[in-house]
A = this chain, B = another copy of it.
Amino acid sequence: MTDTESGLPPAIEQLWGLREPARRGGPKPALSLPRIVAAAIELADAGGLAALSMSRLAEKLGFTTMPVYRYVASKDDLLVLCLDEAIGAAPALDGPWRAQLEAWSGALRIRYQQHAWMLDVPISGLPAGPNQLVWFERGLRALAPTTLEPAERASTVLLLSTYVRGQVQMVADLMRAAAPASGPPVDWASVVRRVAHPDRFPEVAKLVAGGVFDAEGFPDDEFEFGLRRVLDGVETLDRSRA
């Protein structure tokens, strides 16, 4: 381990290609970081974050547990690498800024849905991987033609990514709660109906009575609604400067 003394977490240094292996002897490595990360993502995709243990990962790779630690400082480190890999490359965008941000958000949403375990990874640092930084850069670029100040553009992109992440997480939780892995599906509408007495919860009760919770096409409409609110807010700010 050539310590680059950059003060960065080791995983981040690896992501940016700093920290060269510096092989001076010894057998050829039979494993490689990309293979490890790919296998880890496969495991998590298939069985959720809980299915990703170091022993299972090693087994999938055809090795015993410990060699993995020759390539990765810790499981947390590995997760950081997996996150940046799974978020993938940000799409190229074009057109008016609002359409760009819509596309940006939709693409990000899809990535989260493809790798739902990302939402369960305990975040313990800045999103500083190259892919994540590209996402950030693309978001900023979309806002370049607006009247927003630089700091406001940064805040806006942060706001959007927060929104997308939170939204996907909430929907995923709702779906999991409605159709649990074990046991029969739960009819939440009836549960809330039993528990939300109209005296204490008049508004909620009205909502339930109106059948709002059994709406069609729920996840997508919900996502669109929130996204439109946020972008309307950004547009309001933009226009107030023009």
Contacts and interface: CB of A to CB of B under 8 A. Distances in A.
Interface stretch (A28-36, A94-102, A144-152): A144-152
Given A125-B176, A137-B204, A229 B156 contact: yes
A21 B194 CA distance: 20
A231 interface: yes
Given A162-B226, A174-B126, A150 B207 contact: yes
B158 A170 contact: yes
B230 A151 contact: no
- 8 tightest CB-CB pairs across the interface, nearest first? A229-B233, A140-B203, A162-B166, A232-B233, A233-B233, A166-B166, A125-B177, A159-B226
| Interface-central residue, A167, A215, A230, by most chain B CB under 10 Å | A230
B237 A155 contact: no
A141 to B, nearest CB: 5
**Copies per assembly:** 2
Nearest to A156: B229
A173 B229 contact: no
A238 to B, nearest CB: 11
A185 to B, nearest CB: 9
